[in-house]
Amino acid sequence: MGNIWELDFYSRPILDENQKKVWEVLVCESPTDSQRSVTSLFRYAQYCPSTQVNSVWLRNALEEAIAKSQTTPQKIRFFRLQMNNMITKACQELGIVAQPSRRTFLLHHWLQERMAEVYPLDPNYQAGANPSVQLTTEPPQPLPDALMGEKWVFATLEASAFAEMPEWEIGFGEAFPLEMLSIAPETKIPGAIVYSSRALPMAAWMSGIEPAAIVFNTDEGAKLILETGGNDSWLLVKQLNPATQKEATGFEAAKQQARGVHFLAIQSSPQAEDFAGFWLLQQLSLE
For 142-186, what is each residue's pLDDT tens digit?
888 878 888 999 999 999 999 899 899 999 999 999 988 989 999
Select from 77, 129, 137 the least CA-distant residue to 107: 77
Residue 69 is predicted with a pLDDT of 96
Could you tell me which residue, 69 or 133, shows the higher pLDDT? 69
Reported as a single tens digit per residue, the pLDDT across 21-59 is 999 999 999 998 877 788 889 999 999 999 999 999 999
Q: How far apart are CA 216 and CA 260, in angstroms?
A: 13
Same domain, 21 and 72: yes
In single-letter form, the type of residue at position 65 comes to A
Same domain membership, residue 209 and residue 265: yes
Question: Does the structure show a pLDDT above 90 at 134?
Answer: no
Q: Indicate whether 136 belongs to any domain.
A: no
Q: Give the per-residue pLDDT at 135.
A: 55
Residue bearing the bigger pLDDT, 78 or 130: 78
Q: Does one domain contain both 173 and 275? A: yes
Residue 131 lies in a domain: no
Judge whether 195 lies within some domain.
yes
16-25, 94-103, 126-135, 183-192: segment of lowest average pLDDT: 126-135
**168 and 38, same structural domain?**
no
- The answer on pLDDT for 287 being more than 70 is no
Question: What pLDDT is stored for residue 201 in this prediction?
Answer: 94
Residues 94, 150, single domain; the answer is: no
Would you state the pLDDT for residue 145?
80
Query: Helix, strand or coil for residue 277?
Result: strand
Number of structural domains (the chain) is: 2
User: What's the confidence (pLDDT) of residue 220?
Assistant: 65
Query: For every residue of 101-137, which 3-state class applies, written as one string?
Result: CCCCHHHHHHHHHHHHHCHHHCCCECCCCCCCCCCCC
Last residue of a domain, one of 90, 121, 152: 121
- For residue 250, being part of any structural domain is answered with yes
Whether residues 187 and 102 fall in one domain: no
pLDDT, residue 155, reads 96
CB atoms within 10 A of CB 210: 21
- Residue 92 pLDDT: 97
Summary mean pLDDT of the chain: 91
Could you tell me the CATH number of the domain that includes residue 21?
Answer: 3.30.420.10
Mean pLDDT of the region 102-115: 94
What pLDDT, on the 0 to 100 scale, is given for residue 129? 52
37 is in which domain, residue-wise? 4-121
Higher pLDDT: 266 or 286? It is 266
Query: Are residues 148 and 269 both part of a single domain?
Result: yes
Domain co-membership, 167 together with 82? no
Q: What is the pLDDT of residue 115?
A: 94
Res 237: pLDDT? 85
The span from the CA of 26 to the CA of 22, in Å, is: 13
